Structures are given as C-alpha cells and as structure tokens.
Structure 1
Amino acid sequence: MLNIATIFSNILKIDPIQRQSIVSVFWQVSFTAIGFLSTMYFAHTAGASILGSYFLFLAYYGIFGMFTDGGFGGAAVKRISEGEEPDAYFSAYFLLRLVFTITGILVLLMFKDYFVGLNKAGIFDWLLLLLFVSALAGPISSGVAGKGKMGIRNTCEGISNISRVMIQVPAIYLGYETAGLAGGMVAGMIVAAVIEFRFFDLHLVNFQWKHIKSLSVFSFWLFLTSSGVLVFSQADTVLIGHFMDVENVGIYRVVLQFTGIATFSSNALRLTLWPRVSQWGKTKELYLIEESLSRAISYSLLLAIPVLVGGILLGDRLLYSFYGADFAQGYHVLIILLAVQVVNIFQYFFTMYLDALDHPQESFKVTAIGVGANIALNIILIPLIGINGAAIATLATMTLNALLAWRALSRHMTIKLERQSLSNIMMSSVVMGLLVGVYRLFVPLSNIWVTMLVVAFGGIAYGFLILKFDKKVYTEMKDIVEKVGIGFVWPGWL
C-alpha cells in the first residue's frame, strides 16, 4: 500500500525546482481535467453565447485588473525575491495596489453606462467585486511567490480554480448563466486567498519613498510589457466580439482553452523559475540561468509537440465529441492555436528571462511591436475570414515576438537549445503520429470512447518512444519516481 506520509517526505527531499514543478504540474493537470469537464458541461448546457459573454467578462477583468495592479505585483515579486527589506517592499506594494484599485473602481462607476454588454449580462457589479477581491488576494499571492514558496502558490492557484468550477457548475444548473460563472470566479479567488494567507510570513511595516521609487522603476516597464501581453492575449477576444457575435467568441475561447493541454509543463516551469532566475541574476550565476532556460524549453516542448501532432490528426473528432457540433467548426482554429502554443513557449520564456534579469525595458520593446502588429492583423483578418483570421494574426505576431525576444535576450546570455533532446521529441512525435494515423485510417471514430481510446494509445506510444530515445529524460524521470517512492517499479527494459 502507498504510504502518503512517506511520499510527501520524499517529495520534500527533491531538488526545489523539480519539487515545485511537480506540484505545479499536478495542479495544472488536476485543474485542466476539471476545467475540460466543466467546460464540456457549460457548452452542452448553456451554449456558446453564454460562454462567449463570460469570456468577454474575463477579458475586461484582465484589462482593468492590469491597470489596477499597475505592474507593481511583478515588481514586488522581483524585489522581495532579492531578499533585501522584503516587508517594506510588500507594504509599499499593498498600499499602491489598494489606491489604484479604489481609483479604478470609481472610474468604472462613473462610466458604467458605456459598458452595455456587461450591464445587459448583469455582471458589471461582479466585475467591480472581483477587482476589489483581487486587490487583497493579489498582494498575498505576490508575497508568497516572492519568498520562493512556489509550491504553496501553485497549490492555492489550483484550489482557486477548482473551487471556482465547483461553484460554477451548480450555478449553471440552477440557471444563473453568466452571473453564475462570474460569481464562481470571485468565490474561488476568496477561498484560495484565505488558505494562502496561512503560509504568508510578511508583515506590514513603515516604508520609505525609496521603496516606492524602486518598485516604480521596475514596474513601469513591467506594466507596459504586461499591458502589451494582456492586449496581445485579449485583443482577439474583444475584436471578435466587436466584429462578430458572442457565439463566435465562445467557440474561439473554448478552442483556445482546449489547446491549454499543450502548456502543462511550460506553465509549471514559468511559475517556478521566475524567482529562481531573479535570484541567480542577482548573484551573477549565469551558468545556472542558461542551463535552466535550455531545460525549460526542452521540457515544455516535450508535451507541446506531440499535442500539436495529435490535434492535427484527431482535433475535429475531439471538438465534436467534447463540446458539440457548434464547436466542431473550430477545427482549423484549433490547429493554428496549437502551433501558437508551441511558438509561445519560446516567446514567453525569452521575455520572462529578460524581466527576471532586470531588463524589462527590452521586453517591453519586443512586446510593443507585437501588440501593434497583432491589433492591425486582427482588424484586417477577422472581418475577412472570421475566427480563423484571429488565430492566424496571433500565430504571425507571436512568431515575430519570439524572434525579437530571442535577439534581445541573446545580448545578455548564451541561448543554448538542447538539439539532441529536441530531435528526440520530434522523432517520437512523428512516429506516434504515424501510428495514430494508421489507427484512424482503419478504425472509424464513431463515438467519444473510441476517440479517447486512440488518444490513450497515442499517449502511451509517445511516452514509451521518448523514454527509449532520450536518455536524459529517462534518467531524470526515473530519478524523480525513485525519490518520491510511490512503489512504482521502473521497467528495466526501457
């Protein structure tokens, strides 16, 4: 039998980055599974229009939330992680966040009549409440992250997402529609903040102008960069809502969420590496930074590449089986957005490392160019080819961003890709694709169970191939499994 106490004890002995990444991956997998199931329920029960209204709500929250944060959240994580006067930096950030949020809420109330869509859906007040709650929950989360407790932060983020879904599902069942979805978002954030506060060890203290100035210098560029990233990620949603209808917003965003399966490992590593890279940059440990980047990219592509191949072969049937006939028309969008997720791995890690190494102004320059191109292409392509145009605009500008970010980061460090590992990933993915393609050629995917069977077959085949081809991945996975001590006997024939 499994000894849970022993397993947890063994996990704590693992290297901090590996341990925190394992925790993050666990919650990524857990929430994505729950999120997929709940979205399938929402799609069949509420329909694309209700989901479209909710995704617009999230887009507006992201935009207004960025302005109420002002970029100070990322700056606070950076300064706290450096270990010098963390309480003072946290206190300065907390006050700034509260002032910005109250000001933002007052401005929104003044212009309430202009938000016709939010008022019509009955969720404008939910937006105000969510902004206020985030003003309290955000600093707690930033403080925990700045202290390097990424396992705690990732766990609480998972709890927030799961709590949200647990409230949203009965709300939709009871007929609360978009308001029920928005209310679940607020409740999930509150639950996570309460739990995370138990592990929070910073204190409110008197701070000086130098602390605000230090945060402001870093946050200025980080705010501009984050705003650009936010516009980059939400421009397509807002412009689809402008040029088309909320049903198309729902289809596009559901497909985008579906492609999130390709980002398990990259999301986990992003959250874990930020404070570590910041510390290494402070202590001038460049070799650790370069090694971490190369491994992070390899481990991210370890999942993203086979998911892209699988999406090309099975995406049409998966969308139809999971979400219904209305969403199956998003197949071509799915393929494009899966390619976006692959490119985004490079773009995000390059810009993240620029920020963590205290070069946010260069990250902003890269992002600003991408944002301008993204908005222009969306305005041109969405009226011409609909949601496919939005996906193409995102892919084109994400590629541009990745190239510019690579050029900027290469001025400060050597960017080394693990070519052998990447070659092994590509070879394993191609072989898996051939096997799945032959399977589909002879076995009609007539229902969801047959479709899931071929998905499982492809996953097992790829897992076997990558462990067989890549000795580095094999060794590291074997080492983690043996350290955790879950009673799994590692097969000697691999």
Structure 2
Amino acid sequence: MNLAKSSILIFSARVCKAAIGFLAVTVFSRELGASPLGTYYPFLALLGIIGLPANLGIRQATKKRISEGNDKSAYLGTGLILKSAIVFAISGILWFSGTYINKFLGANLAQLVVITLIIDQLGRFSISILHGELRVGETAILEVIRPLSWLVVGYFLYLRGYGVYALVYGYLVGTILASMVGWWKVSVSIGRPTVEHARSLFDYARFSAISSVGGYFYSWTDVGILTLFVVWGIGVTRADIGAYENAWRLSLVTMLFGKSIATALFPQISRWDADDATDRIESAIPTALLPSLLLVIPAFVGTLILSKDLLRILFGPEFTVAWLALIVLAAGKIPQSLHTLLSRSLNAIDYPDLAAYAAISSALLNMIFNIVLIWQFGIVGAAIATVGSFMINTILHAHYLNQFLDIELPLREAIWSVVASAAMGIGVYGARLMIELNSIIQLLAIIVLGVIIYTVAILTYSPIRLEAQRTLRPLLTELVS
C-alpha cells in the first residue's frame, strides 16, 4: 500500500465530502433555519450513540485481523455473522421503543432510525474490510456518496415540502448507495464462520469496543445531552442545537488531513507491527503528525478572529449564537489532531485495552462535564466539556503509546507554526478592520489572504520547507504516473 497516495486520495475525497456537506448545511440552514436542524442532528446523534452497542468492536476487530493477512475469508464470515446478530438484536429493541425515540427527536422518526441503523452498520463494515485489505484509497469514493445524496435528494424533497424529513430521507438514500458500493468493492470471499475465529475477534473487540466509545462520545454526547435538556425544557432550544452542531462541523474542516493520514496509516502500522518493524512505526508517526498540526494551529487563530463572520455569512444571523462555542471547538482540534493518530497507532500495535482505558475514562468525564457545564453555560458549556475531556484523552493515549514506542513530537515545527499563525492573525485582523464582511466572496478573500501570509511565513523555516519538498516530490511523481 502506498501510504502517501492513500492519504492524499482519502484527503481529496474528504475535502469533496466537506465541500458538499457544507453546501448542504448552508442551503438547509438558510432555507429551513436552525430548529429543523435541531431535530436532524439529534437523529444523527442517536444513530451514532446506538452504533456503539450495535458494533461492539466487531468492525474494528475484523479490520485488524484481515490486515494481518491470515484467514481473511474465515474472519470475514465470522465477523459478518457476529455483526449481523448484534445489529438486528439492537434494532428489535429500538422498534419497540418508538414512542420514546419520537419524543427525543421531536418528530416521528423511530422507524427511520431502525432502517438507517441497519444499512449504515453493514455499510461501515464493508469499509473496514477494504481498510483491512490495505485498499484504503479505494474507499475514497464512499466518502462522497452520502453527503452528495443528502444534498441532492434532500433538497429535491425539501422543494416538495417534506421539511426535516427531507434531510433524513436524503441521508438514508446516501447510506444505501454507500453500502452497495462498499460491498461491491470487497474482494475477500465470505468464509465459513468458526468458534476459533470468533474468539480471536472477541479478544480484540472487547477492548476496541470501549476505545471506539471515545470517537462517538466526542461527536455526539454533547448533542445528545443538549437534546435531553430541550426535552426537559431546561435552558436550551432546538435552534441552539442546530447552531452548535453547525459550529462543530465548521471546526471539523481542519481535521480532514490528519484523519486521512490516520485512516491510511492504521493497516500499514498493523502490518509493520506483525513484522516487528518498530523503527518504521516510530519514524512514521511524527512525520504523519506534522501536516495536521500545521493546519489546526492557524485554523484556530483564524477562527478566533472570524468566528461570528463565518457563522453569519455561511449559515445566517440565527447561527451566530454559537460564535464562542466555535472558538472553543476550534481550539480543541489541536489536541484532537494528535489524538486521532495516537489512538489509531495504539490500536494498530495491538493494545486496544490501553486505548479502551483512555477512552472510557475520558468519555465518562465528558458526560459529567457536559451535564454540569451545559446546565451552567448552555452550548458554550458543551464545547468546553468536549474539549477538556478530549485533552485528557489525548494525554492518556500519548502516555500509553510511549510505553512501547519512542515517539518524538514535532515541537519545534509546532512552535514555528504558532509564530507563523500569529503573523497571519495580525494580517487577517487588519484586513477585517478595513473591510465590512457581508458576502461569501469577501470572506473567502480574507481567508485566502490569511493562507498566503501563513504559507509564506511557515516556509521560511527550512526544516518544514525541506520536509515539504521531501514529501511532496515523490507523491506528485506517483500521482501523475
């Protein structure tokens, strides 16, 4: 597997995914307003949270075992049986809990939750299999299908008066298409399930299930608890949820490259670990961390200056209530950029138990922080709770990983990025004082100015310039060949 090429393919796909997703969010935000999104986002949150027991780590365990290269068909067949049994059992429970689900969502969506959950879980399983086959780059197209369907189908149904149901049906159609394409691409045949392979999957999954809690909890626990406060009538509205989740999605843009690298790196580190190539793992991780850090630091500085303008111009004045939450969430992407790779690396070297301890500890803190801080500060409290617990999670992962690998963080390069970001911030703030931002074109112009200033400043530091040349030259050669 060509790591650089796989990373750039996934990154390109996720850029397209983000662009299409933001176009959809922008269109639906302006057309529907924040309140309908305050129903749609809890729908996604419920899918994400229910996905934890519906998965139980089987997806990650199957990916891990297939990436090791032995008994691929048997592991696929066993994993598929285990996965299907769990998903359908959870779906049955949900089916009989429809009244409570509808009350939570504020709309009659319980049956759609069940249908979407089944298709989504099976579709994500196909992606894990492709990752295990070291075919990460081939999953790039799947990153685009769902948001594109959400935009096209959702907008078509919105024009016909379906309201919030247009968003849900658009998401469901995208989920169906992504699942179909994913399974069509899988090349491993489905082998006969065995008890031995089931034990092997459970040995890994019991800890992987817990470590995967971290990602879902940080993505959806805040929205879930905010929704409960709405149901209970305590200080939060569905419009607040819509504004908060839009701010969260806006902050995620800076994580695209880091997540792409981590996604591509997991199966490769797993293979290196099976071959005892520790030195290759130790040299790959710091190199992989650097590009992500070089993006999230200036993004935070830019958000600090342009937070209100970003929300107002992209989504509408109703969404500026989340401007301070956006700044906090953008700051949180700095430790999250480290966590994404550290967590994948710890699982890849076959220590899901340690990743699980870190994840469950910080997830519990995240829940407690959210309840207390949302009660006191609303959506800003949700942002502070999420970022604070994520910092703890990152520190724990770094501590555990350093017990087995000698990892040196690129601190000098990060410090220079802070200096370059400060220079960019001065330029952007000065331009902001001179220009009254009222359109997307003006906003983009100031962002482009910031990018130019930052790029020039960061490349004046020779180690970063040389590393960029060393990385990009073979990558460009490979891509054009």
- TM-score range (shorter-chain normalised) is over 0.9
Partner of 2:257: 265
Give the percent of matched residue pairs that are identical in Structure 1 and Structure 2. Answer: 25
1:130 Cα shift? 0.9
1:479 Cα shift? 4.1
Partner of 2:132: 146
CA contact under 8 A between 1:232 and 1:370: conserved in structure 2?
A: no
Superposition pairs of residues 80-479 of structure 1, within 5 angstroms:
80-117=66-103, 120-243=106-229, 244-469=236-461, 470-471=464-465, 472-479=467-474
Whichever residue aligns with residue 94 of structure 1, its letter is L
In 2, Cα distance between equivalents of 1:32 and 1:320:
19
Rate the CA distance shift 1:140–1:395 in 2: closer, same or farther, 3 A.
Answer: closer
1:476 Cα shift? 2.3
1:483 Cα shift? 4.5
1:263 Cα shift? 0.7
Whichever residue aligns with residue 57 of structure 2, its letter is G
Whichever residue aligns with residue 459 of structure 1, its letter is V
In 2, Cα distance between equivalents of 1:450 and 1:83:
52
Superposition pairs of residues 39-54 of structure 1, within 5 angstroms:
39-54=25-40
In the alignment, does 2:79 pair up with 1:74? no
Partner of 2:232: none
CA contact under 8 A between 1:229 and 1:371: conserved in structure 2?
A: no
In 1, Cα distance between equivalents of 2:26 and 2:415:
35
In 2, Cα distance between equivalents of 1:228 and 1:459:
32
Residues 391-435 of structure 1: per-residue CA shift (max 9 Å, x gap): 111111111111111111111111211233223322222221121
1:85 Cα shift? 0.2
CA contact under 8 A between 2:78 and 2:198: conserved in structure 1?
A: yes
The unaligned stretches of length 5 or more in structure 1 are: 1-14, 487-494
Whichever residue aligns with residue 333 of structure 2, its letter is Q
In 2, Cα distance between equivalents of 1:271 and 1:168:
29
Whichever residue aligns with residue 147 of structure 2, its letter is N
| Worse-matched range after superposition: 199-208 or 315-324 | 199-208
1:184 Cα shift? 1.5
SS at structure 1 position matched to 2:441: helix
TM-score normalized by the length of structure 1: 0.92
In 2, Cα distance between equivalents of 1:350 and 1:90:
27
Aligned mate of 1:480, from 469, 475, 479: 475
| Worse-matched range after superposition: 340-349 or 378-387 | 340-349
1:120 Cα shift? 4.5
Residues 187-246 of structure 1: per-residue CA shift (max 9 Å, x gap): 112212222333211112213211000000100111122134323332211111122222
In 1, Cα distance between equivalents of 2:443 and 2:477:
33
CA contact under 8 A between 2:273 and 2:349: conserved in structure 1?
A: yes
Which aligned runs of 4 or more in structure 1 are off by greater than 4 angstroms?
A: none
Whichever residue aligns with residue 54 of structure 2, its letter is T
SS at structure 1 position matched to 2:294: helix
Whichever residue aligns with residue 49 of structure 2, its letter is I
Rate the CA distance shift 1:460–1:479 in 2: closer, same or farther, 3 A.
Answer: farther
In 1, Cα distance between equivalents of 2:69 and 2:283:
23
Whichever residue aligns with residue 15 of structure 2, its letter is V
SS at structure 2 position matched to 1:198: helix
Whichever residue aligns with residue 411 of structure 2, its letter is R
| Worse-matched range after superposition: 77-86 or 262-271 | 262-271
SS at structure 2 position matched to 1:37: helix
1:17 Cα shift? 0.6
1:445 Cα shift? 2.3
CA contact under 8 A between 2:300 and 2:330: conserved in structure 1?
A: yes
1:482 Cα shift? 4.7
1:119 Cα shift? 6.9
CA contact under 8 A between 1:350 and 1:406: conserved in structure 2?
A: yes
Rate the CA distance shift 1:102–1:483 in 2: closer, same or farther, 3 A.
Answer: closer
Whichever residue aligns with residue 245 of structure 2, its letter is R
1:485 Cα shift? 4.1
The unaligned stretches of length 5 or more in structure 2 are: 230-235
Whichever residue aligns with residue 417 of structure 1, its letter is L
| Worse-matched range after superposition: 429-438 or 53-62 | 429-438
